[in-house]
Amino acid sequence: MTEKFIPVIDLRHRDSVPAIPSMLEQPTGLLADALARPLHDLRISVTDRCNFRCVYCMPKEVFDKNYAFLPHEALLSFEEITRIAKIFVAHGVQKIRLTGGEPLLRKHIEKLIAMLSELRTPDGRELDLTLTTNGSLLARKAQALKDAGLKRVTVSLDSLDDAIFRRMNDVDFPVSQVLHGIEVAHKVGLGPIKINMVVKAGLNDREIVPMARHFKGSPFILRFIEYMDVGASNGWKMDEVVPSAEVVRRISTEMPLAEAEPNYSGETAERWRYLDGSGEIGVISSVTQAFCHECTRARLSTEGKLYTCLFATSGHDLRALLRSGRSDEELATAVAHLWRARSDRYSETRTAQTAELRKLQKIEMSYIGG
Ligand code: SAM
Ligand code: SF4
Ligand code: SF4
């Protein structure tokens, strides 16, 4: 198989320090962007490093020993992350997902979880606090994560076939250890656990039905994600996307499915139930049926830049505000202005041509947080 890798231009430093309007404001929890979308979710990337080199995310050819990962002093401290998170919660965020890179590589991550789990929404509710992981360190860390206040985890798993899995993570990591991590996380009560499988045509699409068979009737909810043109290094092509409709068709042929109602409005995964009552799967059609009109997510990069879209080409440097001694009120006002101006809807306007043009301008997912 020949893979095409795009030389990466490092765009992590293309950003701006947000202006602070002179009229300061208190958060109301009711912020809406230019397309009337509220601010409900915050994804926080806690590290840009990873122990995997998934071919669709951090290809070895780009993320090699010469790659300049962020130095430690560039990273937001746990206190800085918590301070920013608190402001977002005051603005209406109800769900926080820790991600990366591989979030379990961040030292003492359970301390951050304990700090974030203390936050409450304006009406006094606990946050939906979760984390996405490749599962490699989960068996070792699950209990500490649970004890710190993490509610649940999502585990990325692209194949059950050990040879395919090792080829995809590209560091020869065995699938058995990830499966063990999932079991341990389940036992300590980090559920309901979702399993995310990114499907790339010709690489792991023959694993769709075996994955469905394996998790059918289990406590785990398997979700299939369309391969996206995130970042600039994975050489994405539209014909490598397996549309969700095709995923559902293939599974349904052997194990009939019927569409189910969403759990809540704005849910990104479309739910399908097995007709024999043995559970459900989800499909996330980020490419073929974009859901920008319902996108309520902000992303905070490892070094404290706010991105209002996964496909944004530049971020807003909140760390600069934090480290220049700005008050919470000033930060909250700056965030409110940024969100109100947000009009991103990249996936709804994507074509093969725009994807090609934007290839050289996008920020890597491992940096911005998936
Ligand atoms: N390292 C953790 C993990 O793999 O779960 C968290 C970070 S990773 C960037 C978050 C999610 O993004 C993973 O489920 C991964 O499969 C997904 N992802 C990465 N690159 C992708 C791409 N090109 N298209 C779709 N999903 C992608
Ligand atoms: Fe690492 Fe996750 Fe990206 Fe794979 S998908 S390289 S595990 S950050
Ligand atoms: Fe949200 Fe941007 Fe993805 Fe659309 S493309 S769903 S606006 S992150």
Helix (H, G, I), strand (E, B) or coil at 281: strand
CA 240 to ligand 2 centroid distance, Å: 18
Helix (H, G, I), strand (E, B) or coil at 282: strand
Task: Answer whether 345 contacts ligand 3 (Cβ < 6 A).
Answer: yes
Closest CA to 207 of 152, 168, 262, 265: 168
Give me the domains of the chain, ranges plus CATH numbers: 15-368 (3.20.20.70)
Tokens coding 259: 């569409």
Name the residue with the closest Cα to ligand 1, atom 8: 370
* Contact (CB, 8 A) for 91 and 336: yes
CA 19 to ligand 1 centroid distance, Å: 32
Closest CA to 63 of 30, 37, 35, 100: 100
> Could you read off the pLDDT of 253-265 as tens digits, one per residue?
999 999 999 887 7
* Contact (CB, 8 A) for 179 and 187: no
Helix (H, G, I), strand (E, B) or coil at 159: coil
Pairing state of beta strands 221-226 and 194-199? parallel
> Could you read off the pLDDT of 30-68 as tens digits, one per residue?
999 999 999 999 999 999 999 999 999 999 999 999 999
Could you identify the atom of ligand 2 that is nearest to the CA of residue 51?
Answer: 1
CA atoms within 13 A on the CB side of 137: 17
Tokens coding 29: 């929890």
> Could you read off the pLDDT of 3-18 as tens digits, one per residue?
444 444 455 656 799 9
- Give me the pLDDT at residue 353, please: 65
**Whole-number Å distance between alpha carbons of 89 and 217:** 36
Q: Is the dihedral of CA 29, 30, 35, 37 positive or negative?
A: positive
Name the residue with the closest Cα to ligand 1, atom 5: 133
> Could you read off the pLDDT of 82-139 as tens digits, one per residue?
999 999 999 999 999 999 999 999 999 999 999 999 999 999 999 999 999 999 999 9
Radius of gyration for the chain, computed over Cα atoms and rounded to the nearest angstrom: 20
Could you identify the atom of ligand 2 that is nearest to the CA of residue 101?
Answer: 8
CA 252 to ligand 1 centroid distance, Å: 26
Q: What are phi and psi of 93, to 5 degrees?
A: -70, 130
| Averaged pLDDT score across all residues of the chain | 92
Q: How confident is the model at residue 229 (pLDDT cuts 50, 70, 90)?
A: confident
Give CA 183 to chain center in angstroms: 22
Give CA 191 to chain center in angstroms: 18
pTM: 0.94
* Contact (CB, 8 A) for 195 and 182: yes
**Whole-number Å distance between alpha carbons of 82 and 44:** 10
